[in-house]
Structure 1
Amino acid sequence: MRILVTGGAGFIGSALVRHLIGNTEHEVLNFDKLTYAGTLTSLSSVASSPRYSFKQGDICDERAVATAIQDFQPDVITHLAAESHVDRSIDGPGAFIQTNVVGTYTMLTAALDYWRGLEGRRREQFRFHHISTDEVFGSLGETGYFTEKTPYDPRSPYSASKAGSDHLVSAWGHTYGLPVLITNCSNNYGPYHFPEKLIPLMIVKALAGEPLPVYGNGANVRDWLYVEDHVRALQSVFEQGVPGQTYNVGGNSERRNIDVVEAVCGVLDRLQPREDGHSYSQQITYVADRPGHDQRYAIDAAKIADGLGWRPLESFESGIEKTVSWYLDNRNWWAEILDRTQAATRRGLGG
């Protein structure tokens, strides 16, 4: 098939592109604006493949989107392009509304026009796959899980913008018959993760000998999903999923934030011990919490497991080992990003 991936130079998008080129016969067009969080160096391993191509463009640009779709003639559009950092959404919500809501509307409009022009089997098989987050569901208490039936209750500008985009996708399916799919995933981690997010931020700060900032008391809980497990799930959904359906994707790996940071420190202690012999965990410090910080996310992924046969292959322990090892082996990748973007700067204090 021909797969158009929006945001293919980002963290999850680039993992999906690498997976599709490396493990399938699909052709891939990466459509990406190359904002601060997108880098083509994440795709160097597949850049020379005849089945991969790149088109720089903004999902809010109607003409650019329509041209890319018409020129490439995709069988599937996987829509990953989004602003995704909660702290940045607190400081500047406008960019999140523009990209996540207006951009998704632009993609849906172009996809609908394109789909209406298809005929026969190509029309029947076309899919518009929208990739979203579990944060749209709000915050859980100490028990329970998010399911595909959980009401939406977003608490940050980021999650509200993603909730809005989810509703648009669903509406285009119901109103216009566009064959849409939605996936809501838990927190991803792994290689090529932009170093403003928790796990890579802890790695690079630990190696720099800097304090490891943990929000509040560190008791906030997330379900951690290794990114390569996630992209296998995305492939399963757009190849086998039922149009109009939503699938939750989780890693079955709930951890408190402080436990995640301590796990990172433990792996670093083994793989690259500090010169003074002390643990990196001594660098942990507690800082002012994020405004409106959701207490707990946890995914019930039974629907995708039972319906499509997908399950995560990595445990949190194996995934975090692979992740830390990758960052140790690929300093040039993240050092250049830190120099260019100041990604390690604290944001989202709400002041």
Structure 2
Amino acid sequence: MRVDAFDFTLPPENIALRPARPRDAARMLVVRGSGTEGGMEDRGVLDLPGLLNPGDCLVFNDTRVIPAQLEGKRGDASIGATLHRRLGPRHWAAFVRNAKRVRTGDTIQFAQGVTAISEGRDEDGAVIFFFPGDEPVELLLERAGTMPLPPYIAGKRPTDAQDRDDYQTMFAAEPGAVAAPTAALHFTPGLLEALSARGIGHETVTLHVGAGTFLPVKADDTDAHKMHAEWGRIDAGTADRLNAVRAAGGRLVAVGTTSLRLLESAADADGLIRPFADETRIFITPGYRFRGVDALMTNFHLPKSTLFMLVSALMGLDRMQAAYAHAITSGYRFYSYGDASLLIP
């Protein structure tokens, strides 16, 4: 499909620079049906228990965002690096600002005495960094790094101490992401208790979100776009419980596109979720047949992005263009710190 079909105009004032407080006070646009059938309803995240059925199961991503944004120098040249994907205990691939100034073998001096050596490029064009020394790289990042806020927020205000809390979900347990699974930012212990009281369960899976999630689609046609790789895991026990939900008539509701992409990567042709521990480059566009999920809770996404393509695949492009137009005129807050949508095909 033409990438231009997924374009829309978003006024800058609709972009959220801080999350709702409390987190579960965000608005939520409920979209049902696909194509020309179904409807839209303005609700709130706190309404979620009444919008789902007993026996349904929410699937959260338990990845934890690491302070993966680094600023440094190679000689007089300023180098900005966003770690993108772990390649080994001391090796990371990074998207680099001023990358033309970084050659294989160069040492980059980051803050707080942290250094990294460039060891070439990976297949996505990212710079491969080796961090020498004995300290775990996670400790080095805690000392020298900052939270990697999305460019549409970081371009409007600096990262601060509040973002260390705001940009983590209550489920964050497995360090490795450089972007938050933002739909889960809306959840609080109180909301989870209300869902449980209604008979709605939840499970966690792990997908370490990479910085590639923010990369623009530069191709003119979706067939020409190469998706970034991200590592995910669903253990055997979790897969069994998810399959049992569907066998009992419940629905699997992915909380966030990251959970959805992992579930779809792990689902077989019959819709059974299989144990999974691997990288995925799944790219979901209209025409895709969903196997592993029945509904999706997600924030509002960038125009012409792979994530807007994904929600259009789930609900239909015309329906999502209409939903986003309604959200914009109704003052919904967009992107990572913004409001939510509940998409039920």
Same fold (TM over 0.5): no
TM class by shorter-chain length? under 0.3
1 or 2, which has the higher strand percentage?
2
Question: TM-score of the superposition, structure 1-length normalised?
Answer: 0.25
Structure number with higher relative contact order (C-alpha < 8 Å, ≥ 6 residues apart): 2
1 or 2, which has the higher helix percentage?
1
